[in-house]
C-alpha cells in the first residue's frame, strides 16, 4: 500500500492504475478507522484479491468545513499509524492523507457546494453548514480522484442522500454504493465517536438500535402512524438511558420527505447526545409494495 498527502502524487498513481485497466474505487473517511470503514474496503476487494482489476483509494481527511464552531474538530480522534496498518490489512492500494493546506491551499474555499432542502432537516437542522462542508469536500475528492465507484456508510444515511442528489444534479459519473451499517455485538453502530463515551454511556448507547428495531417491528405489525412509532422510540430511549434526544423522525427513504402514513419504504432516523457525544443511527423499513424502489437507493 502506498501513502501520500499530495494530490499530484495521488493522480500520478491513479493514472498508472487506469493505464493498467483497473477500476478506481474511492472510500472517503475521516480516519480513526473501525471495522465499518474496513468492511467497505474488504467488500470492494473481495472480487479482486490479487489487486489486478480494482484500485482502492481510501482518503483520511478531517474536513474543517463540516464542523461547526462548537463541535469536536480539534479533539476528533486521530491515529495515522494505526489507520495505515488497518487499511493495508483490508486491501487498500493507496491511502490519501492530505493536510488542510493541501485541500484548501488558500486558507479557505471561496467555492462551495450547497444541496438545498434535504440539508435543512434531520442533522442539518442542528448542524448549520455541515452538509455544505460535506458536499464541498466530497465534490473535491471526486474531482481529484475521478473514481468509478465510491463507498459511503449507511449509518450516515442523510449524508448519502445528499451526495446522491449532488451526483445526480451535477452529472458526476460515479457509482455510489451505500454500505450497510456495521454494528458492535450489542447493536451499537460503529463510529469513531464511540471512543468518547464513558463506560456507563457505552453501556446505555445500544438502546438506540433496540429502539429502532422496536419502531421497525411496529411498522411490520401494521402500525402506519409515524407519530406513534416516533413516540415509542422516544419513550424507550428516555426510559432506558440518560441520553438527550435531539430528534427522532420517520421519513421517506428515497428523498427524506415527510410521510403522513407509512405506506412506502421509510427510514427511521435519530440523533441522541450522551454527555457531549452525539450519536446518530437509523433503520430502513421496507413496505412490501415498495421493495423494488428501495433497492435503487442502495446502489445508484
Residue 153 to residue 182: CA distance in whole angstroms: 8
Q: Which residues contact 184 (CB under 8 A, 6 or more apart)?
A: 190, 194, 206
Nearest to 121 by CA among 135, 131, 111: 131
> Can you state the angle between helices 226-240 and 207-220, rounded to 10 degrees?
150
* From 37, 51, 130, 273, the catalytic residue: 37
Q: In a 3-state reduction of DSSP, which class is residue 234?
A: helix
Kindly tell me the burial class for residue 46, based on how many C-beta atoms sit within 10 Å of its own C-beta (0-12, 13-18, 19 or more): exposed
Q: Is 273 a catalytic residue?
A: no
Q: Which residues contact 175 (CB under 8 A, 6 or more apart)?
A: 148, 149, 150, 299, 300
Residue 269 grid cell: 432516523
If you search the block for the grid coordinates 442523510, which residue do you land on? 158
Q: How far is CA 259 from the centre of its chain?
A: 23
- Return the DSSP state at 22: P
Nearest to 152 by CA among 60, 37, 47: 37
Q: What is the strand order of the sheet 94-96 is part of?
A: 2-4, 94-96, 54-60, 23-29, 149-153, 175-179
Residue 261 to residue 128: CA distance in whole angstroms: 29
Is the separation of the CB atoms in 93 and 50 below 8 Å? Answer: no
Residue 36 grid cell: 465499518
Kindly tell me the burial class for residue 116, based on how many C-beta atoms sit within 10 Å of its own C-beta (0-12, 13-18, 19 or more): exposed
Q: Annotated catalytic sites, by residue?
A: 37
Amino acid at each position: 500500500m502506498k501513502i501520500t498527502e499530495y494530490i499530484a502524487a495521488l493522480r500520478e498513481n491513479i493514472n498508472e492504475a487506469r493505464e493498467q485497466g483497473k477500476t478506481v474505487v474511492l472510500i472517503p473517511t475521516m480516519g480513526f478507522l473501525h471495522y465499518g470503514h474496513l468492511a467497505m474496503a474488504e467488500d470492494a476487494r473481495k472480487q479482486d484479491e490479487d489487486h489486478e482489476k480494482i484500485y482502492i483509494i481510501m482518503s483520511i481527511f478531517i474536513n474543517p468545513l463540516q464542523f461547526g464552531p462548537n463541535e469536536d474538530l480539534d479533539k476528533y480522534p486521530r491515529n495515522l499509524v494505526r489507520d495505515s496498518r488497518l487499511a493495508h490489512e483490508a486491501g487498500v492500494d493507496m491511502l490519501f492523507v492530505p493536510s488542510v493546506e493541501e485541500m484548501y491551499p488558500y486558507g479557505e474555499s471561496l467555492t462551495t457546494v450547497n444541496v438545498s432542502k434535504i440539508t435543512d432537516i434531520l442533522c442539518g437542522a442542528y448542524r448549520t453548514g455541515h452538509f455544505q462542508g460535506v458536499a464541498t469536500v466530497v465534490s473535491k475528492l471526486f474531482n481529484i480522484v475521478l473514481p468509478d465507484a465510491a463507498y459511503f456508510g449507511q449509518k450516515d444515511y442523510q449524508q448519502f442522500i445528499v451526495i446522491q442528489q449532488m451526483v445526480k444534479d451535477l452529472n458526476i459519473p460515479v457509482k455510489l454504493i451505500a454500505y450497510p451499517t456495521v454494528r458492535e455485538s450489542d447493536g451499537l453502530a460503529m463510529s469513531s465517536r464511540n471512543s468518547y463515551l464513558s463506560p456507563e454511556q457505552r453501556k446505555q448507547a445500544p438502546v438506540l438500535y433496540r429502539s429502532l428495531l422496536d419502531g421497525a417491528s411496529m411498522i411490520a405489525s401494521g402500525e402506519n402512524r409515524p407519530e406513534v412509532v416516533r413516540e415509542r422510540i422516544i419513550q424507550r430511549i428516555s426510559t432506558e438511558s440518560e441520553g438527550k434526544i435531539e430528534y427522532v423522525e420517520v421519513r421517506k427513504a428515497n428523498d427524506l420527505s415527510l410521510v403522513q402514513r407509512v405506506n412506502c419504504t421509510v427510514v427511521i432516523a435519530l440523533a441522541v447526545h450522551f454527555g457531549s457525544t452525539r450519536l446518530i443511527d437509523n433503520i430502513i423499513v421496507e413496505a412490501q409494495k415498495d421493495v423494488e424502489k428501495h433497492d435503487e437507493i442502495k446502489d445508484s
